Amino acid sequence: MSTNAIHTQANIYQSKTAPALLETNAVVKAYGDVHALAGIDVTINSGEIVAIMGPSGSGKSTLLHVLSGILLPDSGSVRLGGDELTSLSDADRSRLRRTHFGFVFQDGQLVPELTARENVALPLLLNGASRNKAIAQAEEWLTRMGVGDQAKKRPGQMSGGQAQRVAIARALVHEPDVVFADEPTGALDQATGHETMQVLTSTCAKRGMTLVVITHDVKVAGWCRRLIEIRDGLIHTDRSISTPENR
Ligand SMILES: Nc1ncnc2c1ncn2[C@@H]1O[C@H](COP(=O)(O)OP(=O)(O)OP(=O)(O)O)[C@@H](O)[C@H]1O
Ligand SMILES: [Mg+2]
140-198, pLDDT tens digit by residue? 999 999 999 999 999 999 999 999 999 999 999 999 999 999 999 988 899 999 999 99
Q: What is the pLDDT of residue 15?
A: 42
Question: According to the model, what pLDDT value does residue 137 have?
Answer: 97
Higher-scoring residue by pLDDT: 237, 187: 237
pLDDT at 146: 93
Instruction: Kindly compute the dihedral angle of the four CA atoms of residues 95, 99, 105, 111, in this order, to the nearest 10 degrees.
Output: 80
Least confident among 12-16, 53-57, 92-96: 12-16
Residue 14: band (very low, low, confident or very high) from pLDDT cuts 50, 70, 90: very low
| Distance from residue 118's CA to the centre of ligand 2 (Å) | 28
Cβ neighbours of residue 109 under 8 Å, at least 6 residues apart? 167
pTM for this model (two decimals):
0.91
Q: Residues with Cβ < 8 Å from 236, sequence gap 6 or more?
A: 54, 229, 230
Between CA 51 and CA 113 the distance in angstroms is 32
- Predicted confidence at residue 1, as pLDDT, reads 40
At 239 the pLDDT is 96
Is there a contact between 37 and 213 (Cβ–Cβ < 8 Å)?
Answer: no
Amino acid at 144: R
215 Cβ below 6 A of ligand 1: no
pLDDT in tens, 80-91: 998 999 999 999
Query: 56 CA distance to ligand 2 centroid (A)?
Result: 7
> Is the per-residue pLDDT at 10 higher than 60?
no
Q: Answer whether 60 contacts ligand 1 (Cβ < 6 A).
A: yes
90 lines ligand 1 (CB under 6 A): no
Which segments of the chain does DSSP mark as H helices, in order? 4-7, 9-14, 60-67, 90-100, 116-126, 131-144, 160-172, 190-207, 218-221
> Looking at the predicted structure, is the pLDDT value of residue 133 above 80?
yes
Nearest to 170 by CA among 139, 191, 201: 139
